[in-house]
Amino acid sequence: MPASQHYDVVIIGSGAAGMTAALHLANTHKVALLSKASLNQGSTRWAQGGIATVVDPEDSLEAHIEDTLIAGAGLCHRDTVELVVKESRKSIQWLIDQGVPFTPAEETADTLHKSEPSPLPYHLTREGGHSFRRILHADDATGLAISETLTARVLQHSNISIFEDHLAVDLITRHKLGLADQACVGVYALDIKLGKVQALAAKAVILATGGASKVYLYTSNPDGSSGDGIAMAWRAGCPVANMEFNQFHPTCLYHPNAKSFLISEALRGEGAKLTLPNGEPFMQRFDARCELAPRDVVARAIDHEMKRLGLDHVCLDISHQDADFIRGHFPTIYQRCLELGIDITQEPLPVVPAAHYTCGGIVTNHKGQTNIPGLYAIGECAFTGLHGANRMASNSLLECVVYGRLAAEDLLDKLASFKEAPELEDWDESQVTDSDEDVVISHNWDEIRRFMWDYVGIVRTDKRLERAQHRIKLLQSEIHDYYSNYRISSDLLELRNLATVAELIIRSAQLRQESRGLHYTLNYPETAAEARDTLLTPDRW
């Protein structure tokens, strides 16, 4: 018996992008918001640094645009960069209106260029790739401040139905239902706590599921970053682009009791130095910008020194700064390190690179639309052309808020013309049984993450990619057999998605026969004269 619940829009993902879209839609439309854990446990809450916009009177929109283009190593789409930068002040003002507590300015600039709005009275910091201070922040826990503020707003809204602990299984299109067109009309979602799958029908679906950095053994991301939206969109027929560009954050804390703890780039923006364990600085040998070079440059430099000297880590030292300044600007990092026996006001902290951000994703237009009618993708799961071959620091939260609003505005204009979603059938479990071999899931999960780290990491070769391709094919066969015969679980669904994304990354890396931005291969160390995106389409593969 059909038992689907009907909404105007289903949003999968409850980070900054998903909640922004939900809040813009919910005044006039019925919205379902799915979160695979509790509402504010996605990647947004772990973002420490901040969100970029032009405020400094010496800065300009064009400088922000050019910095982004330079960091993207020739692959950014200029029209997208211009759009996001020009929309930044409006989107950040919306965050301020929601109540996000950005750190106030110590001193406020007197004037801005006449073409700019009046200055925002907030403290600005600087991060790698930026030529000016333009990072608004809430101390060193900006993502947490944004997540908690938007979560409170979402919880207050009667038109938003919240589905916590729900993991999307697959998108539902009219084509899958045997109807004529391809429009997306809903999603099957697993209630993780009850182990039951339910159908959610909608006129439109927004994917805001974040990235796929959990495909690597070491990552700054939470456990849920398993590429779910990218994999679901691929299975539904969406092309993806530039999946080979995986950003490794240069500085994650290296400590056995500190899982995935990011050390914000803002430390380097405030003068922290990267050194070898003996205290010798090394970034000056790799880039004139030293610690403020883009993340791909810094991560490769650290990786080079670790491999050259056989090190487990390098060091990041800000102890030369005033202790009160450090505690005041980086209270979260200071306190966490102190809990682990490291006083950053007195000593350097050990750091290593870790997978941090997926620069490629589901191909969309400037409204977040995919090639499937009624299906949108926003935030880290989407490919808009903003980040090119390397995302510039603090443009990611900005992208989430800008595209969350733009997608919602597009739907507000068009939703009335969309067809009503049909009644959806129940999830069919009649041909599967309970598994008694869950060890297969944990083993395959671990194997994928290890060979992706070893073969498809910061430095790549053709041989390493071939090895990875061979292994992912074998694992996908096992996973497909397991998925077909056993009742699904959240671990199995994430493994299935992770394997899909791993293959997309490997295939994309094999196609790029040059080194550019985050993709560095010893077989093709030079950068090609012409910059081209890597586009994969489901029909081709």
> pLDDT in tens for each of the 541 residues of the chain?
356 799 999 999 999 999 999 999 999 999 999 999 988 777 788 777 799 999 888 999 999 999 999 999 999 999 999 999 999 999 999 999 999 999 998 753 343 333 444 467 899 988 878 999 999 999 888 999 999 999 999 999 999 999 999 999 999 999 888 888 889 999 999 999 999 999 999 999 999 999 999 999 888 888 889 999 999 999 999 999 999 999 998 999 998 887 778 898 889 989 999 999 999 999 999 999 999 888 888 999 998 898 899 998 999 999 999 999 999 999 999 999 999 999 999 999 999 999 999 999 999 999 999 999 999 999 999 999 999 999 998 999 999 999 999 999 999 999 999 989 888 988 988 788 887 677 888 899 999 999 998 899 999 999 999 999 999 999 999 999 989 888 999 999 999 999 999 999 999 999 999 999 999 999 999 999 999 999 999 975 4
- CA–CA distance, 380 with 41 (Å, rounded to integer): 15
The pLDDT score that the predictor gives to residue 119 is: 67
The pLDDT score that the predictor gives to residue 211 is: 96
Select from 328, 334, 266 the least CA-distant residue to 130: 266
The pLDDT score that the predictor gives to residue 425 is: 86
Strands 375-377 and 246-253: unpaired
- CA–CA distance, 494 with 222 (Å, rounded to integer): 13
- CA–CA distance, 102 with 44 (Å, rounded to integer): 15
Taking the CA atoms of 230, 48, 458 and 297 in sequence, report the sign of the dihedral they define: positive
Instruction: Look up residue 90 and give its two tokens.
Output: 């409006």
The pLDDT score that the predictor gives to residue 471 is: 97
Q: SS3 for 117-167, per residue?
A: CCCCCECEECCCCCCCCCEECCCCCHHHHHHHHHHHHHHHCCCEEEECCEE
Kindly list the structural domains of the chain, giving each domain's residue range(s) and its CATH number in brackets, ordered by start: 251-354 (3.90.700.10), 439-523 (1.20.58.100)
Q: Is the pTM of this model over 0.85?
A: yes
Taking the CA atoms of 534, 465, 235 and 397 in sequence, report the sign of the dihedral they define: negative
3-state secondary structure of 157: coil
Q: SS3 for 254-288, per residue?
A: CCCCCCCCECCCHHHHCCCEEECCCCCECHHHCCC
DSSP string, 494-525: HHHHHHHHHHHHHHHHHH--S-BTTB-BTTS-
- CA–CA distance, 494 with 192 (Å, rounded to integer): 12
3-state secondary structure of 312: coil
The pLDDT score that the predictor gives to residue 118 is: 45
- Give the contacts of 531 (CB within 8 A, at least 6 positions apart): 73, 74, 75, 389, 516
Strands, sheet with 361-363, edge to edge from the N-terminal-most edge strand: 382-383, 361-363, 240-241, 535-536
The pLDDT score that the predictor gives to residue 179 is: 85
Which run of H or E residues covers position 195?
A: none
The pLDDT score that the predictor gives to residue 440 is: 81
- According to DSSP, residue 132 is labeled S
CA angle 100–95–60, rounded 5-degree value = 115
Cβ–Cβ under 8 Å, residues 276 and 315: yes
- The CA radius of gyration of the chain, in Å to the nearest whole number, is 23
Cβ–Cβ under 8 Å, residues 160 and 167: no
3-state secondary structure of 247: strand
Catalytic residues: 295
Q: Hunting for tokens 């049909």 — which residue is that?
A: 422
- CA–CA distance, 439 with 344 (Å, rounded to integer): 41
Helix axes 78-98, 61-71, angle to 10 degrees: 120
Instruction: Look up residue 424 and give its two tokens.
Output: 């959806």
- To the nearest 10°, report the CA torsion of 70, 222, 150, 167: 120
Task: Supply φ then ψ for residue 311, to 5 degrees.
Answer: -90, 150
